[in-house]
Amino acid sequence: MLVNIIISLVIGGVCGWLAGIIMKSANGVLINIILGIVGGVIGGAIFNFLGINFNGIVGSIICGVAGACLLIFIVRLIKKK
């Protein structure tokens, strides 16, 4: 169980890092990693709601990057106001 949590955190961190590169985020690496972890949860919920299931590490990364990109976009909108 603890191993699964650690793996999820690492995958979320990678997703945040990748999303930061994709979105050319001005946030720091730590913020991008946190957004990746949270984005993985949000992306998983959104894709699950839509009936799209990703399996394996690659699927988790795709889902997490999509969620993290969405969060980075939302953070940019909030910062502009």
Expressed as residue numbers, the domain containing 64 is: 30-81
Q: How confident is the model at residue 37 (pLDDT cuts 50, 70, 90)?
A: confident
Give the model confidence (pLDDT) of 7-23 as tens digits.
888 888 888 889 889 98
Phi-psi region of 40 (alpha: psi -120 to 50; beta: other; left: phi over 0): alpha
Asked whether 77 and 70 are in contact (CB, 8 A), the reply is no
pTM of the predicted model, to two decimals?
Answer: 0.82
- What is the residue whose two structure tokens read 């990109």? 69
The total number of structural domains that make up the chain:
1
Tell me if 54 is assigned to some domain: yes
Instruction: Say how many residues make up the chain.
Output: 81
Tell me if 42 is assigned to some domain: yes
Helix (H, G, I), strand (E, B) or coil at 71: helix
Token output for 41: 């949860």
Residue 22: predicted pLDDT: 92
Tell me if 72 is assigned to some domain: yes
